[in-house]
Structure 1
Amino acid sequence: MRNESRGTLELTLAMVLSGTLGIFVVESGASPLNVVFFRCLFGAVALGAYSLVRGYFSGHGFTAKKLGLAALGGVFIVFNWVLLFEAYEATSISFATVVYHTQPFFLVVFGAVLFRERITAAKFGWLGVAFVGLVLVSGIRPGDTASLKGLGLALAAAVLYALSTIVTKRVSGVRPHLIALVQVLVGLPLLVPFAELRETAHLGAGWAWLVGLGLIHTGLMYVLMYAAYQKLPTAKIAVLAFTYPAVAMVADWAVYGHHIGLVQALGVPLIVLASLKVTLAARTPTDAPAPRTAAHEPEASSPAATRSA
């Protein structure tokens, strides 16, 4: 029980940190592409140093195939971050975060399309509930191009996260810290052609926020999540995961005065409930501790129950 209590504290702290990620992105003053580039850079330093100290490079378990899959997952997760951060700019942290939490439903759809997994009537029902919630949360009115753009970006980010999860789940026998390290390293050469690195000369205090994204939201946050996954049953992980959007909404309101309207607020519990039901249904019926998998902002890949950015 003491072990589980510690895991609960670790995962709660990780989700609270994840909920503040949007503030770091906005306050950095950098473009989304630059933010992701430096998140990858400083995150690689943090994860690499931690893995080195813990001796994870010895007997790493990578093969050429596993390394390729981890890298492919990295491509998806890096551009998932770019789209999510673009969604922050187009709308608000609250709106983008709630829409982003439709990820489990894309996992269900891809499972059916790619692997011919059967979608039960219950899952169809919850997909319908989530769609209604999404319509309410969007609150889009005719001519509201900003919200429409933000909705599209957040949904696209969720799709890429789901693809990364599907790919990364096939990398077995490798510590998640090393998989995440490969994925952020992939982001560096991937983003160099697109990032406008010269603009960073004028960031000033924005550098502190970028370093924080790498060290806190990619290094420390993932270490806490990985430690917690080994101590907690899946059901508790799924429930604690929703600390992330709750904190993100409160932080967005407290710092920027953004809040979701009454009609939009009605859609939030629908998405949360449907996501929780689908996530738990995808797990084994036993309440065993969650398996070791890679995590993103998302992400992430992390168990589908824990969708950090």
Structure 2
Amino acid sequence: MRNETRGTLELTLAMALSGTLGVFVVESGASPFTVVFFRCVFGAVALGAYSLARGFFTGHGLTPRKLGLAALGGAFIVFNWVLLFEAYEATSISFATVVYHTQPFFLVLLGAVVLRERISAAKVGWLGVAFAGLVLVSGVRPGDTASLKGLGFALAAAVLYALSTVVTKRISGVRPHLIALVQVTVGIPLLLPFADLGEAAGLGAGWAWLVGLGLLHTGVMYVLMYAAYAKLPTARIAVLAFTYPAVAMLVDWLVYGHHIGVVQALGVPLIVLASLRVNRVTRGTGGGPAPRTGRRGAEGASPVATRSA
């Protein structure tokens, strides 16, 4: 019980930290590509230092095939971040975060298409509920270009995250910290052609926010998440994961005065309920519990571990 209590605190802190990510992105004053580039740089430093200190490079278990899969997952992850941050700019942190949390449903659909996993009638039903929630949350009207653009970016980000999860689930015997390290390291050369280094040179105080994204939201947050996953059952992880959008919406309101409307708010519990039920159905049909060895894939190998940015 003490172990689960600690895991609960670790995951709650990780998800709460993830909920502040939008503020760090906006306050940095940099464009999405530049933000993600430096998140990868500082994140690689943080994860590399932690892995070295813990001795994870000894007996790492990485093979050329696993490195290739991790790199492919990394490409999906870094461009997922770019699209999510573009969604922040186009709409609001609250709106983008809620839409982004359709990830589990894209994971189910990709599992059916790529892995040929069977979709049960229950899953189809809950996917329908989630879609209804998404329609309400979007609140998009014809001609509302900004909202449509933000909706598209957030949905595309969710698809890329799901793709990364599908790829990463195929990696076994490697600590998630090392897979995450490979992913952010791959992001550095991938994003370098798109990052505006001239813009970065004039950021001033914005550098503190960029360093925070790398050290806190990529280093500390991932370490807390992976530690918690090894201690908690799937159901607990599924519930605690929604600390992230709750905190993101609260912070967006407190800092920027943004909030979703009454009709949009009606869609939030539908998405949350559908996500929880899909996770429960998945668990009951072979999805299995959350990893307890701490050696599964980065960004969460279990279906419920697909929530943080």
Between the aligned partners of 1:52 and 1:128, the Cα distance in structure 2 is 45
Shift of the alpha carbon at 1:290?
Answer: 3.0
Between the aligned partners of 1:231 and 1:206, the Cα distance in structure 2 is 36
The equivalent residue for 1:111 is 111
| Inter-CA distance 35–95: structure 2 relative to 1 (3 Å threshold) | same
The equivalent residue for 1:294 is 297
The equivalent residue for 1:272 is 272
Shift of the alpha carbon at 1:116?
Answer: 1.8
The equivalent residue for 1:134 is 134
Consecutive unaligned residues in structure 2, runs of 5 or more: none
The equivalent residue for 2:149 is 149
Q: Is the 8 A contact 1:19 1:246 kept in 2?
A: yes
Deviations 1:129-182 (A, max 9, x none): 001000000000121000000000000000000000000011100000000000
Q: Is the 8 A contact 1:75 1:186 kept in 2?
A: yes
Shift of the alpha carbon at 1:284?
Answer: 5.0
Q: Is the 8 A contact 2:103 2:158 kept in 1?
A: yes
5 Å-filtered alignment, 1:35-114, equals: 35-114=35-114
Between the aligned partners of 1:3 and 1:115, the Cα distance in structure 2 is 34
Q: Is the 8 A contact 2:289 2:302 kept in 1?
A: no
Greater shift after overlay, 113-122 or 34-43? 113-122
Q: Is the 8 A contact 1:164 1:301 kept in 2?
A: no
User: Aligned partner of 2:42: which letter?
Assistant: F
Determine helix, strand or coil for the equivalent of 1:71: helix
Deviations 1:212-239 (A, max 9, x none): 0000000000000111111111100000
| Inter-CA distance 303–27: structure 2 relative to 1 (3 Å threshold) | farther
Consecutive unaligned residues in structure 1, runs of 5 or more: none
The equivalent residue for 2:223 is 223
Q: Alignment identity in percent?
A: 80
Q: Is the 8 A contact 2:76 2:164 kept in 1?
A: yes
Q: Is the 8 A contact 1:280 1:305 kept in 2?
A: no
Between the aligned partners of 1:271 and 1:252, the Cα distance in structure 2 is 19
CA-based RMSD of the aligned residues comes to 1.3
Between the aligned partners of 1:161 and 1:280, the Cα distance in structure 2 is 20
User: Aligned partner of 1:294: which letter?
Assistant: G
User: Matched residue pairs, number?
Assistant: 305
Q: Is the 8 A contact 1:91 1:147 kept in 2?
A: yes
User: Aligned partner of 1:112: which letter?
Assistant: A
5 Å-filtered alignment, 1:110-259, equals: 110-259=110-259
TM-score, L = length of structure 1: 0.96
Q: Is the 8 A contact 1:60 1:175 kept in 2?
A: yes
Between the aligned partners of 1:288 and 1:176, the Cα distance in structure 2 is 16
Q: Is the 8 A contact 2:96 2:150 kept in 1?
A: yes
User: Aligned partner of 1:257: which letter?
Assistant: G
User: Aligned partner of 2:150: which letter?
Assistant: G
Deviations 1:264-287 (A, max 9, x none): 000000001101111222225798
Between the aligned partners of 2:21 and 2:301, the Cα distance in structure 1 is 17
Q: Is the 8 A contact 2:291 2:301 kept in 1?
A: no
User: Aligned partner of 1:201: which letter?
Assistant: A
TM-score, L = length of structure 2: 0.96
5 Å-filtered alignment, 1:2-17, equals: 2-17=2-17
